[in-house]
Each structure stands twice: as C-alpha cells, then as structure tokens.
Amino acid sequence: MSKTKSSESVKVVVRCRPMNDKEKASKFNLVVSVDVKLGQIMVRNPREASELPKVFTFDSVYDCNSKQIDLYDETFRPLVDSVLLGFNGTIFAYGQTGTGKTYTMEGVRNDPERRGVIPNSFEHIFTHISRSQNQQYLVRASYLEIYQEEIRDLLSKDQSHRLELRERPDTGVYVKDLSSFVTKSVREIEHVMNVGNQNRSVGATNMNEHSSRSHAIFVITVECSELGMDGENHIRVGKLNLVDLAGSERQAKTGAQGERLKEATKINLSLSALGNVISALVDGRSSHIPYRDSKLTRLLQDSLGGNARTVMVANIGPASYNVEETLTTLRYANRAKNIKNKPRINEDPKDALLREFQEEIARLKDQLEKRVGKKKKRRQRRRAGEGSDGEDLEDAETEDDDEEGGDYWREQQDKLEREKKAILDDHSLVADEKDRLLREKEKKMEDLRREKEVGEMLAAKVKAMESKLLVGGKNIVDHTNEQQRMLELRRQEIAEQKRREREMQQQMESRDEETLELKETYSSLQQEVDIKTKKLKKLFSKLQAVKAEIQDIQEAHIKERQEHEQTQNELTRELKLKHLIIENFIPLEEKNKILNRAFYDEEEECWKMKAITRIEDDHQMMSRPPSAVGYRRPLSHHAHIAMRMKPDMRYKAENILMLDMDLPARTTEEYQEPVIAPKVAAALEDALRDEDEIQVDASGFHSSLGPTLPASGSLKKPKSGRPRTSKKSSTPTSPFSPCSPGSPLYPQSRGLVPK
C-alpha cells in the first residue's frame, strides 16, 4: 500500500560553534575553517604548522555565524515537510559535549531568534496544518531518555519506572507503555517539551554530566487523513524523531572495577553501537547489522538504513585543544554520509490513532443520534395521542414546535413539574393514591434527568474528541498569513539555490582534477613539463594528505583497540574472581543444576532462570533432600536434636505460632460441704430414718394404685431429668432431702401424678 521510493543517502551537515569566552580568554588557536559555499571543513594540525589541513566535504556546513533559522530552512524544513507527507524522519545531533548539540536541537527557549530545531518544527507543523484544506490531522508527542541502557519516559508521573523495548512484525520496534500526548497547538506541545525537560533534570544529580551521558529523543507523530481519489479516507502517518545524543568524547574507563566498570562500559554503549551500525551499513561486506547491540540503535533502526529520511548534524568546536575530538567527529560524520535509506510514505498503517479516533467519534455520534431519534418519535407519538382524546393536564404551550434538544428537556421537565403540582392540588384523590402518583412522577423526572446527563456526556465526549482532530483552512485568506507564506517560499527557494550552487561547485572541483588536463594540448615540451610537474605536486600533496589520514585513522584505531583490550582485561579479571568463588564454594552438583536452568533472554538481554517444575524435561521427580523429610524445609542435624530436646522456639522451623486457645481465668470455687456438728448429724439421721420407715408404708399404698397409674414412668422422669437433685437426696447428710413422690403426705403438691 505504501509507495516505495528509491534509496537516498543520510544527509550529513556539520556545524561549528563560535569560540566561547573561556577559549577566547585562554587565547586558544582556531584550527577549524569552514567553507560554506563549497560545503567543506578544513582542520589544521595545531602542532604541525607545515602539515596540510585535512579537508572534509559534506552536504552543507555551517560556520560560527550561522543562524538557527538558516539551518532550519536549508536542512530541516524539507525533512519536516516530508514527515507531514507521511514519511518517517530523524534528526540526530552528534558531537563532543559542549559543541552545541542541545543548542541546535532545542536552542534558547525564550529567544525566537535562537530557537532550535524542535521548537521551530512545532511552529512549522501547526502552521502547515492551519493552512491545509480538506484534511484532518492528529499530532502527538512523546519524550524519552536512554541513560546507561535504561529507558525512562520523561512524560510519565512515575520517573523511577524503566521502560522496555518490544518488537512487532508489523510495526517494528517500539517502547512498551511509552506515554504520548495528543497536542492541539504549539503552546500545548511546548508544554509537553517543558515537562519532559524538567523531568530530565530532576532525575539527574549533575545535569551537565547527565546530559553528556544520556540520549534524549523527542518524538512527534503526525497523522493526516484525506479523502483519496477512490472516495475513501486515507491516513498517512509521519514520525519525526529528534535526537540529542550523548557527548561523543571517550569516557575514561581506566581503573574501574565491579559495579563501576559495569557502569562505565554501559555509558557510551549506545553511542559505540551506533558507530558500529554505521560502519556495518557503510562497509557493504557485512550482512549482519548489529542493531540489537544497544537500545538506541534498536529504537532508531529505521532511521539507519531503513524506512526514514535522516539528517545528522555533527557539532564541532573550533579551538585547538579539541582537535582530536573534532577530527573523530568529522570522520564519524563522513562515514555516515554513505548510509542508504529507503524512505516511503506510511499509508494506512494498522496502528493509526487517527482511524481509531474517527471510528470512535462516528460511533458516539451514532449513539447520540439514536437517542435524539427516539426522543422525537416518542414526542410525535404522544402528540398524536393527545389529539385523539384531547384531555390532558398539559398546557397548550408544550405543543409549540421546537426541535432544539435543550428546549425539549426543559419542556419535558416543566411538564412533569406541572403534573406533579396538579396531583398535589387535586383534593379528590385519596392520600395513598396521591403518594403513588407523586412517586411515579418523581421517578419519571429522575429518569429524564439521567437520560439528559447521558446525552450531554456523549455530546461532550464527541466534542472533546473532535477538538483533538485538527483541521485547517480557517484563516487561509488571511493577508498576513499569505505574506508570510510567500516569505517562507522565497527562503526555501534561496536555500534550494544555495544547495544547488554548492553541489555544482563540488562537482566542478572534482572534475577539475580529473579531466581538465586530459584534454589539454601542449604547445611545447617545456609547457607540458611545467604543467605536469604542477599536477604531480598537487597529486603528491594529496597523496601525503591521504597518507596522513591513514596514519591518523590507524592511530585512532590502535587507541580504540587498546581501550577495548583494557576493558576486556578488567572484565576477565572480574570473571576470574567469580570463577574462583564458584569453584570453591558452590557444590558441583548445584552448579550444574544452575547451568541447566539458566537461559539467555534476548528480549531483555539478560540471563534468567527457568522456573522449577516438579517434572523436569527428563521426567525426573524432584526429590526431597533427606534433611527435609517430615518437615516442610530442610533442617540441620543440630536443629533436629535441639528441637526434640527442648521446646525452644529458636529451632522450630515451622509453626512457631502458638495457636492453642487460652483457658479463661476461673471465677468459681470447689464445693465445700458444710461442717455439721456430730450431734446435729445424729439427730438428722434419726429423723430421716423415721421418714424412711413411713415411706415403706407409702410404697405399699402406691403399688396398689400401680395398674391404674403409670406412676413408675412418670416418677422416673424427674429423677432422670434432674440427676443432681436425686443425687443430693441420696446423701444422708443433706438437710433438705426432697420428699419422695410416693409420700402419702404430699401426693398432689409435687404435681407429678397426672390428673
């Protein structure tokens, strides 16, 4: 679906900043000269005045007097324009710390003259949208930072959270859970940028050091919907990455160990990986491009040799003490010129947010319409009903034709109010009936209110969503606008003219050397000798320059290799220590187990342990260690013994909580029999014995009644029901022995004999 386009090179421009006050005060020599017309940078060797300056040619170069707006119009505007057309675009700022990367990308915030690419692109994008016609736009922004190979979302509330990279076959690499904000104006997107910048400095202990070691990426996604020739809406999505890279100077890793070494090796990992990716792309021989080596290269994979237009700004300083770094930067930039990208318009991608917005708006509108439709129908129906029976509490006013939604609600509410009042005034109704009717009306009013709220909510939602979709063509006839546009057009033309001139100059220069003298005819031998000597000299100096270049590169290479070796040595030392620990303190068996479980997670780039499962791949059950049999976890022999010997909590490996219930404190006492004097006891015994004799008689009386009364059954009952009493009665010492039910003296008072 996307239009393919032939490949194009990464555009590389170089910007040299002016000498700063400190450099001026220290009277450093200027070693960089810039030929803007030819697009060349010349670097003199400050130590060797006789040495020829090194010359580098780029797409365009900017000297210390260059204006931000010139850079924008000549170099960045065409790129942002293509983003507005639906291409992906990336702008990198590369260079040593303090050479103007941030100045180029962001610039001075409150000074319109010195604003950088990012604010200028805001202006450009929203101006373009306001002038567009028959197009719908959705603009959103994200801001992230990569520091020591960790990605931080600069727009999220939780700044301690680290984000991860994910890959999808259809859309490529993306940052999971990265927040993005839909912005409707320059002011809003500027606010997003300011919030991100604040968060950037909040997370840093030393802002200068932090910014020189971290990469900041501001991402603007512009989605545009337009009616195509086929009568369908088509969406184009352009993504603009604005990257302020970490300082390119070498970070010293010497003497670092352990955590510090790990940190040091991570600091510029992304940057060296970027260099390796560029080398691999330019080399042409290597089929493998090491994008996966760092977060930055993975995230910007498309910008390097993929579907994007890319501009790289190499920033350099002019002073002599920076000459090494300046040359490194220029060589780096020189290599990047040869990267070939294959940009294409991203048409109708699956993840276009604009499409989702449009569909959601359509759905909400549909819902809203249905509600309005229902209302109207209901009203018409009611009106028809009123016409037929003619008697209603309604006033004639409500009959007025008014299609406005707001009026409809008011009208309905008034009507219900009136009905309620009428019920209240109607004295003929019974109180209950009145109550019921009133409740009914109130419920109706409540329903009406709720319905109205839902309708309003829907309408508000539609409005909010629609406001996010930007449409232009409002002030297209504005006179000042028109003038401004002409001015911009002129500026663009001039920029284009300059570019063409430069190209022509560059071409002429190279042709000069190649062909000029081939065609030449010599009038005399002497002349030929002269001219050829001149040419020889020129070529010789060129040869010398190339030789010097080769030597420089070799030196740089050796230095880099030495650094790598040093890092490797330190890492090996570190590794040997780990080995020592493992070999001496970890049982072989355990080590093998760990080795079997460990696996490398490519996605997160770290080693992980497989979860322990009961049945391993070789179908072996995990066995319990002998010291854990009967217990939940292994116990030492000493603990076993100690646990058995004394109930000490210290050796109880489990269930150390005492969960037995505590008994409540006792509030009663044991029963003590009263002490009775022997005399009294004897008297009582006598008395009781007498009664027993009487009872013998009574039982005879009882048994005579036996067949008529189920006495034994009914007599047993109280005995079994109150065993204590019976027990007491049997104790000879009890003073209140209850009378036997069979007693003839009290046969009825006990109530035990059924009547």
User: Residue 264 Cβ, how far from ligand ADP at the closest point, in Å?
Assistant: 20
**Least Å distance between CB 99 and ligand ADP?**
5
Give CA–CA dist 520/528, Å, rounded.
Answer: 9
| CA separation for the pair 268, 247 (Å, rounded) | 9
Residue 312 pairs in a beta bridge with: 12, 92
Report in angstroms how near the CB of residue 490 gets to Mg ion at its nearest.
33
Shortest Å distance, C-beta 100 to Mg ion: 8
Smaller CB distance to ligand ADP: residue 95 or 742? 95
What is the rounded distance in angstroms from the CA atom of residue 548 to the CA atom of residue 551? Answer: 5
Cβ distance to ligand ADP smaller for residue 100 or 305: 100
The 3-state secondary structure of 460-500 reads HHHHHHHHHCEECCCCCCCHHHHHHHHHHHHHHHHHHHHHH
> The tokens 């646990």 sit on which residue?
643
User: Cα separation of 121 and 49, whole Å?
Assistant: 43
The 3-state DSSP class for residue 42 equals: strand
In this structure, are residues 273 and 239 in contact, taking their beta carbons and an 8 Å threshold? no
User: Please, what is the minimum distance in Å from the beta carbon of residue 159 to ligand ADP?
Assistant: 22
The dihedrals phi and psi of 233, each to the nearest 5 degrees, come to -80, 130
Q: Which is nearer to Mg ion, 211 or 329 (CB)?
A: 211
Q: Could you give the CA distance from residue 70 to residue 120 in angstroms, rounded to a whole number? A: 11
- Give me the sign of the Cα torsion angle 112, 117, 120, 122: negative
Binding residues for Mg ion, total number by CB under 5 A: 3
Q: What's the min distance (Å) between Cβ of 567 and ligand ADP?
A: 25
Chain centre to alpha carbon of residue 416: 51
Select the binding partner of residue 541 from ligand ADP, Mg ion, none (C-beta < 5 to 8 A, by kind): none
Rounded Cα distance between 234 and 358, Å, is 12
Shortest distance (Å) from residue 105 CB to ligand ADP: 8
Please say which residue, 318 or 472, places its beta carbon nearer to Mg ion: 318
Give 613-653 as a DSSP string: -SB-TT-PBPPPPGGGTTSSS---HHHHHHHHHS--GGG--
List the single partner that 98 binds among ligand ADP, Mg ion, none, CB under 5 to 8 Å by kind. Answer: ligand ADP
Binders in 359-388 for Mg ion, by CB under 5 A: none
Give me the least distance between CB of 169 and ligand ADP, in Å please. Answer: 37
The nearer residue to ligand ADP, 102 or 156, going by C-beta atoms, is 102
Task: Fill in the per-residue mask, 72 to 111: x = in contact with Mg ion (CB under 5 A), - = not in contact.
Answer: -----------------------------xx---------
Q: Which two tokens stand for residue 460?
A: 């508000």
Report how far residue 263's alpha carbon sits from residue 149's, in angstroms, rounded to the nearest whole number: 10
Rounded CA gap, 181 and 165, in Å? 19
On the CB side of 529, CA atoms within 13 Å amount to 3
Amino acid at position 288, single letter: H
- Residues 203-232: x/- map of binding to Mg ion (CB under 5 A)? --------x---------------------
Q: Which is nearer to Mg ion, 145 or 570 (CB)?
A: 145
Query: In the complex, which residue's CB is closest to ligand ADP?
Result: 100
Question: What are residue 319's phi and psi, to 5 degrees?
Answer: -80, 155
Decide whether 105 or 129 has the Cβ nearer to ligand ADP. 105
Shortest CB 251 distance to ligand ADP, Å: 14
Is residue 72 within 8 Å of 346, Cβ to Cβ?
Answer: no
Q: How far is the CB of 582 from ligand ADP (least distance, A)?
A: 43
702 binds, among ligand ADP, Mg ion, none (CB under 5 to 8 A by kind): none
Q: Tell me the backbone φ, ψ of residue 172, rounded to 5 degrees.
A: 85, -155
Phi, psi of 600, deg, nearest 5: -95, 125
340 token code pair: 């070939």
Q: What phi, psi does 469 have (nearest 5°)?
A: -80, 120
Cβ-based nearer residue to Mg ion, 97 or 346: 97
Q: Report what 183 binds from Mg ion, ligand ADP, none; CB cut-off 5-8 Å by kind.
A: none
Q: How far is the CB of 247 from ligand ADP (least distance, A)?
A: 6
Q: Which is nearer to ligand ADP, 32 or 635 (CB)?
A: 32
Q: Of ligand ADP, Mg ion, none, which one does residue 100 interact with (CB within 5 to 8 Å by kind)?
A: ligand ADP
Residues lying near ligand ADP in the complex (CB under 6 A) are found at: 17-18, 20, 95, 97-103, 247, 315
Please measure the distance between the N-terminal and C-terminal CA atoms of the chain and give it in whole angstroms: 109
Cβ-based nearer residue to ligand ADP, 237 or 245 = 245
Non-local CB neighbours of 38 within 8 Å, separated by 6+ positions: 57, 502, 505, 506, 509
Residue 8 CB, nearest approach to Mg ion (Å): 29
Q: Which does 103 bind (CB under 5 to 8 A by kind): ligand ADP, Mg ion, none?
A: ligand ADP
Q: Is 197 in the site for Mg ion (CB under 5 A)?
A: no
99 binds, among ligand ADP, Mg ion, none (CB under 5 to 8 A by kind): ligand ADP
17 binds, among Mg ion, ligand ADP, none (CB under 5 to 8 A by kind): ligand ADP
- Residue 455: name its binding partner from ligand ADP, Mg ion, none (Cβ under 5 to 8 Å by kind): none
Which residue is listed with tokens 């029999």?
A: 673
95 binds, among Mg ion, ligand ADP, none (CB under 5 to 8 A by kind): ligand ADP
| Proportion of the chain in helix, strand, coil states, percent, rounded to 5 | 50, 15, 35
Q: Which residue has 């983003």 as its token pair?
A: 83
Nearer to Mg ion, 96 or 211 (CB): 211
Looking at beta carbons only, is 82 or 99 nearer to ligand ADP?
Answer: 99
Question: Quick one: 20 or 497, whose CB is closer to ligand ADP?
Answer: 20
The closest residue (CB) to Mg ion is: 102
CA distance 268 to 255: 17
Distances (CA, A) of 304 to 88, 164, 340: 11, 21, 8
Element (DSSP H or E) covering residue 313: strand 309-316
Least separation in angstroms between residue 248's CB and Mg ion is 11
User: Which partner, Mg ion, ligand ADP, none, binds residue 315 by CB below 5 to 8 Å per kind?
Assistant: ligand ADP
The entry of ligand ADP, Mg ion, none near residue 275 (CB within 5 to 8 angstroms by kind) is none
Nearer to ligand ADP, 249 or 570 (CB): 249
Q: What is the closest distance, in whole angstroms, from the C-beta atom of residue 204 to ligand ADP in the complex?
A: 14
Binding site for Mg ion (CB under 5 A): 101-102, 211
